[in-house]
Amino acid sequence: MTATTRAKTNYLVTVLGGLFSLLAGMLITLRNLFRRPVTEQYPKSKPALSKNFRSAIALVRFEETQTHDCVACMQCVQICPSFCIAIEGDKPEGLKRKRATEFHVDYALCSVCGLCIDVCPTNTLKYSRVYDQVAYRRDAFVYDLLTEFRDAEVAYLEKARQEAAAKEAAKQAAAAARANKDTAPAAANASKELEND
């Protein structure tokens, strides 16, 4: 085989290969023509968020109490590197445990590091899944996390107070019973002695 004929066959191979690659490319675009578009029509359809999606912190609503369990221990306030949490707490009347009365998070400052969630002793903090907050002023990003718990909190406190009162009553009753028990054997002995006599 001379050099020129080899060059010619190579030329033919190049041409046919090029033609094939053109057809292959057209097949790829054709296949994509009939696939579903991946466009997300954002305001009309919301994206599916990842399981690990992090956003501004929120309070957990527990099943049994239907409210949060923030005891205003201030650990999250202390650990927060962005100083974006502000909490006030107080002992409600008739209860011995502290409850949060104010819980503000400035999401404009929050870096979503999650330290507050890790440090929370009652596990009442979680990541929320909001992502499209918009405002004209920065202070609009200061969220009051307790607003959605106001009614539940009142009910919970009422119940807790009743429980506490019931507990107190039971305790007193038990104490009274114990006091009776202390005197009862003596009385029984006394009655026995009376019988023996």
Partner 1 sequence: MFNQLFGNIWLVTLASGAVIMGFLTVNALFLVWLERKLSARFQRRLGPTEVGFAGTLQTLADAVKLLGKQLITPRNADKPLYHLAPVIVFMPVVVGVSLFPIDRQLMFVDLNVGLVLVFAFAGIGFIGIFMAGWGSNNKYALLGAMRAVAQNIAYEIPLILSALSVTLLARSMKLSAIVEAQSTLPYLLFQPLGAAIYLIGAVAETNRAPFDIPEAESELVAGFHSEYSGMRFAVFFLAEYSNMAIVSMVATTLFLGGYHGPWLPGYVWFFIKVYGLISLMMWFRWTFPRLRFDQLMSFAWTVLVPLSLANLMGTAVVLKVFRR
Q: How far is the CB of 32 from partner 1 (least distance, A)?
A: 6
Q: What is the CA radius of gyration of the chain?
A: 36
Instruction: Please pick, from the candidates 17, 25, 47, 81, the single residue that binds partner 1 as defined by CB under 8 A.
Output: 25
| Site track for partner 1 across 3-22, x = CB under 8 A | -------------------x
Task: Report the SS3 class of residue 121.
Answer: coil
Say whether residue 140 binds partner 1 (CB under 8 A). Answer: no
DSSP assignment of 136-152 = SSGGGGEEETTGGGHHH
**Residues between 30 and 89 that touch partner 1 (CB under 8 A):** 30, 32-33, 35-39, 41
Dist. CA 194–CA 59, nearest whole Å: 67
C-alpha separations of 179 from 4, 146, 183 in Å: 120, 45, 7
Q: How far is the CB of 44 from partner 1 (least distance, A)?
A: 10
For partner 1, the binding residues (CB under 8 A) are 22, 25-26, 28-30, 32-33, 35-39, 41
